[in-house]
Amino acid sequence: MYDFSGRVAIVTGGASGIGGATSRRLAADGAKVLIADINEAAAQQNALAIRQAGGIAEISVTDVGNPADLIKMIDIAVEKWGRVDILVNNAYSPTAAQDTEILETTEEAWDSGIAVMAKALFLASKHAIPHLERDGGGSIINISSVHGLLQSANFLVYEASKSAVIGMTRQMAIELGPRGIRVNAICPGHIVTENIQAHMWQDNPSGYAFFEEQYPLRRCGKPEEIANSIAFLCSDQASFVTGHSLVVDGGLSIQLQENLGVRLARYMQDKPETKLPY
């Protein structure tokens, strides 16, 4: 556990998944948490869970693709609690994860995905920085992905966005360090959120087992494991860490790919009944 008593945290996409677990973790460690999410019902549900556990949470109905909503989000936190100490840029765009090749990727899909996963990060940070600096500094956490480090075909918008997050994190760390603001990124592997569990794996247990086989730990990640990493980077224990992209992927990205390919081929030979996830 870390001590975030007296600190105010904003978590975009904070209603569920990685953002939901992060909101709960920061609140459990004493932070006052503003859950900024486009899904009002889910945000209210997560805020209620935090309050029932003894924490403090409010919500802001926020579409991070709308610049006015980002300003409103910051204003709500300052009006309620007088400060901002932690900003977690986590919100995600399902549109950006559509598996289309570049020639099929529309300009609208590009614009909407970049707006949510790159431009929103810039704007939320820009509006939070004066408050972070005024109150003695703070921490910005940007959620990237292993897709920001290793690319996959047919995910142009997602790959571009998550790569941009890493570059912006480094640039912001250099620029904001003299102001007492640390900026770091998290690069998760496959995290089984509530939505993914319900829509991707519930009816395909053999495909899920195949997915887990790709990881040295032989399992996928949990939202709480990413939340724990975020809490560390926000804490005083990470006071000399900035500009870093922390890979939290169960070892997925450290493997020699040709050996991984051979092992998975053998897995398919041994279990031909496997229904591939893609």
Which residues does residue 191 pair with via DSSP β-bridges, in sequence order? Answer: 221
> What are the boundaries of each domain within the chain?
8-194+221-251
Active site residue 158: yes
25 vs 28: CA distance, rounded Å: 5
Q: Which CATH class is domain 8-194+221-251?
A: alpha beta
**Token output for 16:** 């569920």
Structure-token pair, residue 172: 């912001």
Looking at 92, 158, 208, 215, which residue is catalytic? 158
From the centroid of its chain, how far is CA 227? 9
Locate tokens 């690069």: which residue? 187
Sequence-ordered list of residues with C-beta below 8 angstroms from that of 260, at least 6 positions apart, any chain: 214
pLDDT string in tens for the chain (278-residue length): 899 999 999 999 999 999 999 999 999 999 999 999 999 999 999 999 999 999 999 999 999 999 999 999 999 999 999 999 999 999 987 766 566 789 999 999 899 999 999 999 999 999 999 999 998 999 999 999 999 999 988 889 999 999 999 999 999 999 999 999 999 999 999 999 877 665 666 677 788 888 899 999 999 999 999 999 999 999 999 999 999 999 999 999 999 999 999 999 998 899 888 887 76
Can you tell me the distance from the alpha carbon of 247 to that of 107, in angstroms, rounded to the nearest whole number?
Answer: 30
Give the separation between CA 10 and CA 85, rounded to whole angstroms: 8
Residue 163 makes CB contacts below 8 A (sequence gap 6+) with: 144, 147, 148, 149, 151
Share of the chain residues as helix, strand and coil, in percent rounded to the nearest 5: 55, 15, 30
